[in-house]
Each structure stands twice: as C-alpha cells, then as structure tokens.
Amino acid sequence: MPRRRSPRLSTGEMEILSMLWEHGPVTLSEAHAAMEQKIGYTTVQTRLNRLVDKSLVSRNSERPAKYEAAIAEHEVTAGHLDSLLERIGDVQVVPLIAHLVSRQKLTADEIGELEALIADARSADSGSKRTVARKKKGMQR
Amino acid sequence: MPRRRSPRLSTGEMEILSMLWEHGPVTLSEAHAAMEQKIGYTTVQTRLNRLVDKSLVSRNSERPAKYEAAIAEHEVTAGHLDSLLERIGDVQVVPLIAHLVSRQKLTADEIGELEALIADARSADSGSKRTVARKKKGMQR
DNA sequence: TGACATTTACGACGCCTGTCATAATATTGG
DNA sequence: CCAATATTATGACAGGCGTCGTAAATGTCA
C-alpha cells in the first residue's frame, strides 16, 4: 500500500530532486556533474543515498547504478505548498498568487491556462456569493 | 534598520511565528498556552529565544517579558514561495497556482481579484518571452 | 522576611542534514 | 593477470532544531 504522503523536504533534498527531474536517471558521476561543482562528489553520493533510504529516489542495479526520482515534481510542490499553508493557516491566497505572478513574466500560454483555472473556479463557485468577509490586510507596503 | 531578505524558516519556526501573528505580543506562559500543550513549557521558551537570536522575534523588557513577531507574515510566505520556486525552477508556476486555487474555495471577490491579476499579467506580457536562464548561485567551493 | 510561585537562564541529548575523507570493491585497458 | 581507474561503502564531524530538565533569579504575599 503506497501510503506516499507528500513529505516535507529540505531545500537540499529539493536541490537533488530538481536535478533528477531535469536530467533523467543519472549515474552518480553524472549527478555530480549536473550539480555543477557546487559540492563534492561524495556529498552528492551521500545525499542521493539518503534520499534512496527515504524511498524518494530509486537506484537500479546496473553497474554504474542509475539514480532516478521516485516522486513526481508536482507531488513535492503540492506537499510543500500544503505544509506552508498548514503552518500559516488561513493565508490569503490572492496575495500569494499576486506574488507568484508578479515574480516572473508569464507566457501567453500560461496566462491562458490561468484564465481557464479562474473560469473553472468561478463556475464551481456558483451560488455561494454570501459573506465575503473583508480580510485583506495589505500585501505590500 | 537592516533590510532582511526573506529568510528560510523551518516548519517549527513557522509554527511559533504563526502563533505570534495570531495572538499579539505574548508572555512565555501565554505562548505556551497558545500552543495548546502540544509541547513543553521550556521547549516553547527555547524556540522563542532562538527566534529572538535570529531577530525574527523581539522580546521587550517588561517583567513578564513579551514576545512579538519581528517579521511580517507576508514576508515569510513570500520568502517561502520564492525559495520553493528557486529550487523547482519557474516553469511549474501554473500547476502550483492550480493547486492553490483548488485547495480552498474562493469567494467571488477573490476570483474577481485573480481575474484582475491575470489581466494585468497579460497586458504586461508585451511579447516578451520569459527566459529560463537560471542564475547559479555559487555556494561554496 | 521567608516561603512559595513564576519567570528566566543554561545546558544537555538525539536526530537530521550537509560536508567530506578514506577504505573497499569492481571494471577495464594493456 | 595486473595496475590504474571508476564506483560504492563506511564513517566522521559540525551545526541546526526540537525536546526538555534543572538551576538561578525574581516576584508575591501572608
């Protein structure tokens, strides 16, 4: 029973996972190369193996063993977001999203997707238009 | 005052800060009470003091000293989001937002605000393509 | 003022994570 | 087959964090 709950990952673990998501299955030396000499060879090894211990990364039995992420990117991001929201509590989603979209330029495609998302949300919201408590507290300034 | 960049906080630190954001300045015993006996008194004390050491919480000199968050909620949430995006890369922002909006029901007002946000983003997107060039932030070594 | 209560200071312990060195083992070119 | 190289296994160490216990200082009240 794969009770894989989105785990909380450290930024270091995220760094490794990101690398694995970008470059597919890689050997240790490839992984090290992908990390761009930021950290030592055995450091990558250790981090990778610890992730294997946690079943977040798999390692096959080929001779130069290949490491591969065992958890999807969206699972992790969702997990992080969840933990963030849990901790913060009733955070205002809108300011958060505002921060997200202002942080970077979005492509027209992405904007289109977002519009679709909002449209969905609106249709799902059908009817419940009562109590819109004003709880904005100024995101900026 | 020194402009502090959004720091990376552990979930435990977030837990304390959340408590402080909710209940204003509190004494240690009030803080402990607010934590709902989940953890020991001195544990709260230690965690609070460590946050003070980091200048994320301030403690005044009243006799039963009062602790108060020294960093705003939006700074932290934005900071967390930023670090998350740094790790993941900017590409996945749409699924991320999808998760955000699906996670909780939005009010009609909020949906309206989001629409305005998207509209702004679209107008700001005057033909420029987001470059995925990621700057490497050389750690050590 | 002396005893009891509250508040604060210190210090300890264990786990996790980042960092790596070194040793052991397997692969491979000659 | 052997030595050089590549790969993998171990072990170490430090700093951060969550968890407290205990001691010291301070406040309170009869």
Which of the pair, B4 or A118, is modelled with greater confidence?
A: A118
CA distance A59 to A52: 7
Q: Is the domain of B60 the same as that of B105?
A: no
B4 at interface of A, judged by CB pairs closer than 8 A: no
Lowest mean pLDDT among A93-102, B40-49, B88-97, B132-141: B132-141
CA distance B72 to B56: 9
CA distance A66 to A83: 30
Is residue B10 pLDDT above 70, yes or no? yes
**Within a domain: A43:** yes
Is residue A20 pLDDT above 70, yes or no? yes
Q: How far is B35 from chain A (nearest CA, A)?
A: 13
Q: Is the domain of A55 the same as that of A19?
A: yes
**Within a domain: A4:** no
**Residue-averaged pLDDT of chain A:** 79
pLDDT attached to residue B102: 78
Instruction: Find the helix or strand (DSSP H, E) in which B59 lies.
Output: strand B57-59
Q: What is the pLDDT of residues B23-76, one digit of tens each?
A: 989 999 999 999 987 899 999 999 999 999 999 999 999 989 999 999 988 888
Q: Is the domain of B13 the same as that of B77?
A: yes
> Alpha carbon of B42 to those of A124, B48, B50, B113: distances in Å?
47, 9, 12, 44
Other CB atoms closer than 10 Å to residue A122's CB: what's the count? 15
Q: How many CA atoms lie within 13 A of B42 on its CB side?
A: 0
Q: Protein B32 CA to nucleic acid D23 C1', in Å?
A: 21
What contacts B107, CB < 8 A, 6 or more positions away?
A125, A128, A129, A132
Q: Is the domain of B15 the same as that of B32?
A: yes
Q: Is the CB of residue B77 less than 8 Å from the CB of residue A88?
A: yes
B50 at interface of A, judged by CB pairs closer than 8 A: no
Give how many domains chain B has, as a whole number. Answer: 2
CA distance B99 to A84: 13
- pTM of this prediction? 0.75
Q: Is the domain of B39 the same as that of B19?
A: yes
**Within a domain: B137:** no
- Domain residues for the domain of A103 are 92-126
Specify which residues A69 forms β-bridges with: A57
**Within a domain: B136:** no
Lowest mean pLDDT among A13-22, A100-109, B53-62: A100-109
CA distance A63 to A59: 11
Q: Which residue is nearest to nucleotide C16 (CA to C1')?
A: A10
Residues of A in contact with B106 (CB under 8 A): 93, 121, 125
Q: Is the domain of B1 the same as that of B43?
A: yes
Q: What share of chain A is helix, strand, coil (3-state, %, to 5)?
A: 55, 5, 40
Lowest mean pLDDT among A67-81, A117-131, B6-20, B38-52: A117-131
Q: Is the domain of A21 the same as that of A65?
A: yes
**Within a domain: A61:** yes
Please, which pLDDT band fits residue A140 given cuts at 50, 70 and 90?
A: very low
- Residue A113 CA to chain centroid, in angstroms? 19
pLDDT attached to residue A86: 65
Q: Is the CB of residue A7 less than 8 Å from the CB of residue A56?
A: yes
**Within a domain: A18:** yes
Considering only CA atoms, which of B114, B26, B118 is closest in space to residue B64?
Answer: B26
Q: Protein A90 CA to nucleic acid C17 C1', in Å?
A: 30
pLDDT attached to residue A52: 96
Q: What is the pLDDT of residues A61-80, one digit of tens each?
A: 888 999 999 999 888 877 77
**Within a domain: B130:** no
Residue B30: CATH number of its domain: 1.10.10.10
Is residue B130 pLDDT above 80, yes or no? no
Q: Is the domain of B13 the same as that of B44?
A: yes
pLDDT attached to residue A19: 93
Q: Is the domain of A58 the same as that of A20?
A: yes
Is residue B92 pLDDT above 90, yes or no? no
Question: Which of the given ranges, B12-16, B45-49, B105-109, has the highest pLDDT on average?
Answer: B45-49
pLDDT attached to residue B125: 60
pLDDT attached to residue A106: 77
